[in-house]
């Protein structure tokens, strides 16, 4: 049975990762949640800041420990990587068993895990789908039995500012070079890390409207050529480009991954999040539902370029 009570107590798992730390900041800034973070007892990450509770668990993250950690929480947010999908499956089960109202899985970027193309290419997306299916089955059980458990997946496309900084989007800020897939005119939704965190907060604040569904969000939906043009404006330079056939690139990286080159995973994610990620036509496109508006591409790109230059000077 859906609860009419607002979500107040929130447990964040993975608070010190690239996504998790930004989600934590947004939860704090919202000033309407009691926040706890889950931390492995062997973690070298810093302890929680003042006003944030910390719950330690053993590294294996057993079901019993996770269930105890989730007890009394209204929402649990997963923001840690899916290297071990069993941990994510146990966390969902623990949240359900502890009576948590809302679970947000680590389903954020770069493409929809339910896409047949994504599932064919990477175990990562098959694992994400396993977690989503676990959420669905536990929510159906809760509905039958009058329990509170529900879920929301937030799917955001590429982490734009993070990927641009680190070269994951194949725009080289230092060398002013870009690798463009096909003709470069495919639109793809992408989100800044701040937008992802903002979407998490909005989902928790709009619990009834976002119950038991996937929501698709973005900062903008540009083509690679539009990103390139923005980068040329921000750097006041003409960039060199190399065009790549996306299917041939995917096949090559899939072979590399099969041969044990694990860096190929990021390359496959890059392609899928560039050619298969236009959320604007999705039934679950939720910008209006969440009260979100597109960000300005030029402003975001200019900020990333300025920060990259600053980092270069300081190093």
- In terms of domains, do 164 and 104 share one? no
Residue 112 clears pLDDT 60, i.e. is over it: yes
What are 3-27's pLDDT values in tens digits? 568 999 999 999 999 999 999 999 9
**Beta sheet of 53-57, edge-to-edge order:** 53-57, 34-40, 9-13, 75-78, 102-104
If pLDDT is split at 50, 70 and 90, which confidence band does 311 have?
confident
If pLDDT is split at 50, 70 and 90, which confidence band does 48 have?
low
- In terms of domains, do 167 and 120 share one? no
Judge whether 3 lies within some domain. no
**Bond preceding residue 155 cis, omega within 30 of 0:** no
Domain boundaries, position 245: 159-188+220-280+289-314
- In terms of domains, do 182 and 146 share one? no
Judge whether 91 lies within some domain. yes
Phi, psi of 59 (to 5 degrees): -55, -30
- In terms of domains, do 169 and 182 share one? yes
- In terms of domains, do 199 and 236 share one? no
- In terms of domains, do 73 and 203 share one? yes
- In terms of domains, do 176 and 103 share one? no
CATH number at residue 229: 3.90.25.10
| Mean pLDDT, all residues of the chain | 94
- In terms of domains, do 98 and 87 share one? yes
What are 255-285's pLDDT values in tens digits? 999 999 999 999 999 999 999 999 999 999 9
Judge whether 200 lies within some domain. yes
**Closest by alpha carbon to 219, among 247, 184, 185, 190?**
190
């Amino acid at each position: 049975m859906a609860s009419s009570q607002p979500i107040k107590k929130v447990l964040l798992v993975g608070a010190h990762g690239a996504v998790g730390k930004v989600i934590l900041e947004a939860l704090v800034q919202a000033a309407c949640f009691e926040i706890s973070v889950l931390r492995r007892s062997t973690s070298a990450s810093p302890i929680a800041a003042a006003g944030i509770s910390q719950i330690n668990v053993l590294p294996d993250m057993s079901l019993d420990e996770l269930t105890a950690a989730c007890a009394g929480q209204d929402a649990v947010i997963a923001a840690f990587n899916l290297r071990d999908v069993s941990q994510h499956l146990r966390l969902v089960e623990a949240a359900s068993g502890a009576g948590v109202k809302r679970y947000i899985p680590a389903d954020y970027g770069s493409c929809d895990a339910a896409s047949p193309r994504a599932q064919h290419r990477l175990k990562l997306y098959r694992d994400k789908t396993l977690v989503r299916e676990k959420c669905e089955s536990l929510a159906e059980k809760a509905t039958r039995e009058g329990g509170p458990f529900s879920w929301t997946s937030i799917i955001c496309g590429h982490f734009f500012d993070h990927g641009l900084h680190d070269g994951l989007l194949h725009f080289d800020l230092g060398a002013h070079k870009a690798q463009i897939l096909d003709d470069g005119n495919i639109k793809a939704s992408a989100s800044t890390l701040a937008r992802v965190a903002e979407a998490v907060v909005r989902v928790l604040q709009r619990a009834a409207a976002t119950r038991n569904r996937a929501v698709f969000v973005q900062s903008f939906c540009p083509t690679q050529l539009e990103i390139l043009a923005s980068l040329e404006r921000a750097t006041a330079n003409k960039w060199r480009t190399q065009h790549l056939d996306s299917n041939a690139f995917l096949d090559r990286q899939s072979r590399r991954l099969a041969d044990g080159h694990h860096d190929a995973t990021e390359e496959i994610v890059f392609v899928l999040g560039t050619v298969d990620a236009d959320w604007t036509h999705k039934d679950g496109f939720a910008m209006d539902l969440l009260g979100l508006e597109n960000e300005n591409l030029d402003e975001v790109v200019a900020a990333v370029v300025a920060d990259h230059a600053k980092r270069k000077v300081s190093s």
